[in-house]
Amino acid sequence: MKNLAVLLSGRGSNFEAIRAAVDDGTLGAKIVAVVSNKPDAQGLARAREAGLPAFAIDHKQFPNREAHERAVVATLQAAGAGFVALAGYMRLLTTTLIEPFRGRILNIHPSLLPAFPGVNAQAQALAHGVKVSGCTVHLVDETLDNGPIIVQHVVPILDDDTEESLAARILVEEHKAYVEALQIVFEGTYRVEGRRFVRNT
């Protein structure tokens, strides 16, 4: 059984997908903390409704990024978190938060990285005119949307897609990809060779 914390800033649909997979036994994990830098995040309300330990740690209440990250780390450690899933957590992470959980922090991004990192990935994909996009779950390092790639799911881009229709199609795959990636990481049957995340055979 792995102790998992989820960090989010918004809606929390990826958190809900993870929670559902925990509840039905697909993931052998316990969600020990749900943390948001946005006190009014819908995902935090969903966590409270589910009876999970939910913590608002508002970055605006701290003098700088490091102080905020130290508070987040203290909360995660007090909860006994072994793994951290970033699920729409809209903050850049520094070593202060990464180092205590290095190799055990995952992030999801709504594009096929390294294409279209950063915000508005779906709009970037449409504007560029690519014919496929998708989502990426990766290990987190100090560079935005950069760490070794665990899982990617591809979706087609249709001629009549809008940002909303594409985001919705990608989101369906995000929910599956995140659970898959967590399963793989929890199993621990992989190694990281440079940038490459390689499954043991």
Judged by the rule CB under 6 A, the positions of this chain that interact with ligand GRF are: 8, 10-14, 43, 87-88, 108-110, 171, 174
Q: By CB neighbour count within 10 A (0-12 exposed, 13-18 middle, 19+ buried), where does 191 fall?
A: exposed
| CA proximity to 38, closest of 113, 91, 79 | 91
Cβ nearer to ligand GRF, comparing 76 with 85: 85
Q: Per the structure block, which two tokens stand in for 121?
A: 């990935």
175 flagged as catalytic? no
Cβ nearer to ligand GRF, comparing 31 with 171: 171
Given the residues 68, 109, 138, 175, the one annotated as active site: 109
CA distance 124 to 115: 9
Cβ nearer to ligand GRF, comparing 3 with 42: 42
Task: Report the nearest approach of ligand GRF to the CB of residue 175 (Å).
Answer: 8
Task: Report the nearest approach of ligand GRF to the CB of residue 15 (Å).
Answer: 6
* C-alpha triplet 35, 19, 104: angle, nearest 5°: 60
Q: By CB neighbour count within 10 A (0-12 exposed, 13-18 middle, 19+ buried), where does 99 fall?
A: exposed
Cβ nearer to ligand GRF, comparing 70 with 172: 172
Q: Determine the longest span between alpha carbons in the chain, in angstroms.
A: 49
Task: Report the nearest approach of ligand GRF to the CB of residue 139 (Å).
Answer: 15
When CB distances to ligand GRF are compared, the closest residue is 88
Task: Report the nearest approach of ligand GRF to the CB of residue 2 (Å).
Answer: 20
Given its phi and psi angles, is residue 188 left (phi above 0), alpha (psi -120 to 50 degrees) or beta?
A: left
Catalytic residues, which ones?
109
